Amino acid sequence: MSSGSLSDDDFAGSSDFDEEYDSDDGSDMEYEQAGDVGFSDMITEKQRKKAYEVDFSVMPLADILSAQSSASNHVAGILGVTLDQAATLLRAFKWNKERLVERYMDNPQEILDQAGVVLEEDVSPVVKRPKGFVCMICFDDSSSGPALALRCHHVFCQPCYEHYLTQKIVEEGESRKILCPESGCNVVVNEQTIKKAVPQAVLDKYRKLQDRAYVADLDILRWCPAPNCENAIECRLPYSSFTSIVPTVMCSCGYKFCFGCGLGDHQPAPCGLVKMWQKKCADDSETANWISAHTKECGKCQSTIEKNGGCNHMTCRKCKYEFCWVCMGPWSEHGTSWYNCNRFEESSSTDARDQQAKSRASLERYLHYYNRFANHEHSAKLDRDLYTKTEKKMEEMQRTSDLSWIEVQFLKKAVDVLTSCRMTLRWTYAFAFYLAKNNITELFEDNQRDLEVAVEALSELLEKPIEREKIAELRQQVLDKTVYVGSRREVVLEDTAKGLAEGRWEFFTEFAKV
Amino acid sequence: MNPPAGVDIIDANDFKVWKLGLAGAPATLYEGEKFQLEFNFGPNYPLESPQVLFVGDNVPIHPHIYSNGHICLDVLYNHWSPVQTVASICLSLQSMLSSCTSKERPPDNATYVKTARSNPKHTAWAFHDDTV
């Protein structure tokens, strides 16, 4: 396994790594080796969009509201309906204006019935109780008191309407299509009626639900998952492209996440791969794998047996079958050789052992990638602790040297870069786990190793105690390494993104898009 | 209101739980059979639907009724309207039984009964068959 070369030996060999990036020529050469352009091109490249970036825009809540009202305005103008009715129609068509207008022109009555809209002059939903009125919900038959009815003329008393709407909005979280309480009636309760029937708090909740439904209904929008953030992100890439693009977006609140699946940034691994990897890590399949790698089954009753010592003459506790642990054949053919087995090459026993060797190898492979994946996750958590330590360090540096506040900011920057690199590295291991073994994969692993070596070197540098006379030197070193680590990360992301777009990577398994 | 034909009240003294008897309608596959229904009314009834299931030894064998008594009927879940009453539910159930043409359990009965929660309202029902 070539990826197995990412062992401790590589970290120990920091001397050749120093050569690689300390001299300018060395780092330039690195770019060329990685199939990248020369240094001068790198500068122009900075202005352009990178291969692993996608176009997106941040939409604050106010923009979401105005987008809805402008769409309603537009449709209301074309179809000659009220704003309220236009919004209801649009909601039924998931805010697809073109489709709504087209279908409406074909058959207006059918569309109105489907969406539950009755075209009539806007009349107040508050009505007088008709003669002989009985509210069909609470069976109140008093002739006075407030009552409400929609354009379908199903009258219910005001308290029942209020309870009904509150139940729908607060308990069931419904906002797209709240129907008239009458059984089988398909008329939608309009916003005007809701305004009249429920208290302000419920109305606010209703409007919030509508915004939520708007974002959920449109494929090009997604809420920022960060706590207390009310922004949505707009990204116009089709969902089908997310097998070959990792759409990482960053909200104005600073949270970076994947537009495709809503998880935290998982570049360079595509959503489908991430989902598969997380499932693999969460379920028990690896426990089963461990059992099959470390135990054998009784040749007769299939009980699982773990041998923890003793000679090769096994007697199954359950069925009393006697067999040889080495060749798995019956013991009766063995005679008296308890500690070695000369029947090892019998074909029946080789098959059983091959099977075990296979699952052992596959477990080892999984653990190799999982350990590194988990390690970077863990290290990223430690980095957060490191960040607080770093802040203390920065204060200390301001006191002990003549550096100003702005000049000690390099430590914060270094920690930020370090954390994002660890997140990237972490997902490169999930990515690599699913890659088939070939030359292109080896190139990927080379890039991955370069990034990992650089990250560990920077991490080590940050944890060093600060010595007064060496501050300037440390600052220089940290700055250099920060820049280098950042560029190594870019190389990895750029290369994987291009590879995904070109379909260069060969995975040994198929994965769905999201 | 008086109970509709074929329905009798077994126990309706508790406001929260009612037990009703339902008799198979004449000239249907269920003629002569007796079933028991349990209604559980939540605090939000009638705005929220009651929990309705068949109980007792005889759960009707029907393509929309699971052997644990759960009933796949849209008006009990997302098509509930506060105008519905116990009588109207009983009528819906009667008509569901009466229009049945072959006595069999739902195809996924075994898996559903094994995994379902005790309250059928926690199941995400898909209503795909309007004929029975």
Residue-wise pLDDT tens digits, B78-129:
788 999 999 999 999 999 899 888 888 888 888 888 887 778 877 767 666 6
Q: How far apart are CA A218 and CA A479, in angstroms?
A: 44
- Chain B hits for A184, Cβ within 8 Å: 81
Domains of chain A in start order, with CATH, are: 1-48+273-294+357-514 (1.20.120.1750), 64-217 (3.30.40.10), 221-272 (no CATH), 298-345 (no CATH)
- Phi, then psi, of A278 in degrees rounded to 5: -65, -35
- Optimal mutation site among B78, B83, B89, B92, interface A, most CBs of chain A within 10 A: B83
Q: Has residue B85 been placed in a domain?
A: yes
Q: Classify residue B78: in a domain, yes or no.
A: yes
Query: CA-CA distance, A375 to A385, in Å (whole number)?
Result: 15
User: Residue A92 is inside which H or E element, if any?
Assistant: helix A83-92
State the DSSP code for A436: -
Please tell me the distance from the alpha carbon of residue A437 to that of residue A1, in angstroms, as a whole number: 9
- Establish if B127 belongs to a structural domain: no
Closest CA to A188 of A199, A180, A197, A196: A180
Task: Write down the ipTM of this complex.
Answer: 0.78
Kindly identify which residue of chain A lies nearest to residue B88, measuring between CA atoms.
Answer: A183
Distance in Å, alpha carbon of B82 to nearest chain A alpha carbon:
6
CATH number at residue B87: 3.10.110.10
Q: Is residue B83 one of the residues assigned to a domain?
A: yes
Short-list A361, A364, A509, A500, CA closest to A440:
A500
Dig out the tokens for A417 from the structure.
């870069």
Name A149's Cβ contacts closer than 8 Å, sequence gap at least 6: A125, A127, A155, A156
**Which tokens sit at A240?**
């089908």
C-alpha distances (whole Å) from A323 to each of A184, A295, A330, A359 are 72, 14, 4, 22
| Of the partner residues A163, A171, A183, the one whose CB lies closest to the CB of residue B81 | A183
Q: Whole domain around residue B114: which residue ranges?
A: 7-122
Q: Hey, is the C-beta of A183 within 8 angstroms of any chain B C-beta?
A: yes
The count of C-alpha atoms lying within 13 angstroms of the C-alpha of B53, restricted to the half-sphere facing its C-beta, is: 15
Coil vs helix vs strand at B54: strand
Q: Do A181 and B75 touch (CB under 8 A)?
A: no
Tell me how far apart the alpha carbons of residues A100 and A104 are, in angstroms, rounded to a whole number. 6
Q: Do A136 and B83 touch (CB under 8 A)?
A: yes
Q: Is residue B130 one of the residues assigned to a domain?
A: no
Dihedral sign computed on CA atoms, order A506, A509, A426, A291: negative
HSE value, Cβ hemisphere, 13 Å, CA-based, for A454: 35
Share of chain B above pLDDT 70, in %: 93
Decide if B111 is inside a domain: yes
Q: A181 vs B82: CB contact, 8 Å cut-off?
A: yes
Q: Per-residue confidence of chain A (514 residues) as pLDDT tens digits? A: 333 333 333 333 334 434 334 444 433 443 444 444 445 454 454 456 788 888 899 999 999 999 999 999 999 999 888 888 899 999 999 899 999 999 999 998 999 988 888 887 667 888 888 888 888 888 888 888 888 988 888 999 999 999 999 999 998 888 888 999 998 888 899 888 899 899 999 999 999 999 999 998 888 999 999 998 989 999 988 888 888 888 999 999 989 999 988 888 998 899 989 988 888 888 766 676 677 667 777 777 777 787 776 677 788 878 888 877 777 777 777 766 655 666 656 666 677 667 777 777 887 888 888 888 888 888 878 877 877 877 787 777 777 777 777 777 777 888 888 888 999 999 999 999 998 888 888 999 999 999 999 999 988 888 877 776 777 788 888 889 999 999 999 999 999 988 888 888 888 777 654 4
Quickly tell me which residue has 């000679």 as its tokens.
Answer: A311
The domain total for chain B is 1
Measure in Å the smallest separation between the Cα of A160 and chain B Cα atoms.
8
Cα torsion angle, B35, B36, B40, B45, sign: positive
In a domain? residue B52? yes
Question: Which residue's structure tokens are 């926690």?
Answer: B122
Whether A160 is a known active-site residue: answer: no
B 48-107 → A contacts, CB under 8 A: 48, 75, 81-84, 88
pTM check: above 0.95:
no
* C-beta of residue A449 within 8 angstroms of C-beta of residue A462: no
* Mutation choice for B interface testing from A134, A135, A137 by most B CBs within 10 A: A137
Give dist(CA B30, CA B98) in Å, integer.
Answer: 7
Query: Where is pLDDT greater, at A383 or B48?
Result: B48
Residue B1 inside a domain? The answer is: no
Q: What is the 3-state secondary structure (H, E, C) of chain B?
A: CCCCCCEEEEECCCCCEEEEEEECCCCCCCCCCEEEEEEECCCCCCCCCCEEEEECCCCCCECCECCCCCECCHHHCCCCCCCCCHHHHHHHHHHHHHCCCCCCCCCCHHHHHHHCCCCHHHCCCCCCCCCC
Looking up tokens 């070193």 gives A477
Rounded to whole angstroms, the Cα distance separating A446 from A5 reads 10
C-beta separation of A59 from A232 below 8 A = yes
